[in-house]
Amino acid sequence: MTQSDLVSRFAPIVAAHRSGAFLKGDMLSALTLHAEGRLSVVYAPFDHVPTKAKLVVLGITPGAVQAENALAAFRTALQAGLPHAEASRRAKLTGSFSGPMRDNLVAMLDHVGAQHTLGTASCAEVFEPARELAHFTSALRYPVFVAGENYNGTPDMLSTPILRRMVETHLASEARALPDAIWLPLGPKALAAMQHLVRLGVIDRSRVLEGLPHPSGANGERIAYFLGRKPRVELSVKTAPAPIDAAREALRAQLARLAA
């Protein structure tokens, strides 16, 4: 089933939902795309792909909170009489990257020169929602749950047929739609999905950025060292400086080549 088919299938279901959570009871059943054992995949309106996007930030899969927010925005737009495509766009924008994680990401990308590759003074410009120069997506486009909890990478997505198909269909279609974008996978699971598409010839390895520390606040020390805000001698034993140094220099060289 194509992206537009899914939107058309679920739009009337979402629009008719009057109150309460979407991911509970009969509504959860109505939105479920696949269920097998403890694993389930649920529809949420994360279909919109901005064709002007220069940077793609890739996570693992949307969580329940993201899904609820997107579904609520989708319903509001549909009930206002907006076309499916515009309702999908507005739903996707409700999940725009913001707050400390965005600030950390902008600082690190600017630190390695991504702003020059992207043609901006700072990567902060790319994250302005109205410009749609950044695309926030997931290796698994639609929310995946294990025993009702957010999927965290287990079972392995590439070893699980339904999850691997999602990578090879939905994610691959986004890669083909954005051949000139730079892809930034957040964490090893998202990176594994991108590497799989590289092996399949769907995306050029040179456009996938590897080694940037995850922008989460819990990763503060690695981020501070990456940015040169914390000296090596002050690092805790939990932070190994050599891989961070190597990743920083590799990213600078890669982005310089892309900008040339």
* Per-residue pLDDT at 51 exceeds 70: yes
Q: What is the pLDDT of residues 139-189, one digit of tens each?
A: 999 999 999 999 999 999 999 999 999 999 999 999 999 999 999 999 999
**Which residues are bridge partners to 41 per DSSP?**
34, 144
Which amino acid is located at 148 in the chain? G
d(CA 106, CA 109): 5
Q: What is the pLDDT of residues 67-120, one digit of tens each?
A: 999 999 999 999 999 999 999 999 988 866 667 888 999 999 999 999 999 999
d(CA 125, CA 141): 25
CB distance 230 to 221 below 8 Å: yes
Under the banding of pLDDT at 50, 70 and 90, the label for residue 231 is very high
**Cα distances (Å, whole numbers) of residue 223 to 26, 101, 122, 193:** 43, 11, 18, 23
